[in-house]
């Protein structure tokens, strides 16, 4: 996540939809929830505040049962 705006932000969210049966089993540096194919990742206490041009990252481990195509991401700030 990169804050490309001119002002600091207090939190962030990234959303995507898997298309190949992927299931997240473990994550770090973010709070991740999954409902079927729909996934939401949000900041945790130590990486939510981002200065202009500041970055935060998160990661996860997942498995899949079908194809493993890259999803389209939607990002928002709070």
- Summarised one tens digit per residue, pLDDT across range 7-32 is 999 999 999 999 888 999 999 999 99
CB 37 within 8 A of CB 18: yes
Structure confidence at residue 73 as a pLDDT band (50, 70, 90) = confident
If you count DSSP H runs as helices and E runs as strands, how many of each does the chain have, helices first?
A: 0, 6
Give all strands of the β-sheet with 12-17 in edge-to-edge order: 31-35, 38-42, 12-17, 73-77
* Rg of the chain on CA atoms, in Å: 13
From CA 39, how far away is CA 13, in angstroms rounded? Answer: 10
User: Around 50, how many Cα atoms within 13 Å sit in the side-chain half-sphere?
Assistant: 23
């Amino acid at each position: 996540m990169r804050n490309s705006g001119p002002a600091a932000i207090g939190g962030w969210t990234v959303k995507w939809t898997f298309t190949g049966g992927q299931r997240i089993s473990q994550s770090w540096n973010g709070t991740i929830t999954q409902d079927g194919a729909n996934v939401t990742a949000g900041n945790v206490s130590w990486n939510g505040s981002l200065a202009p041009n500041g970055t935060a990252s998160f990661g996860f481990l997942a498995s899949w049962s079908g194809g493993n195509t890259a999803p389209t991401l939607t990002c928002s700030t709070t």
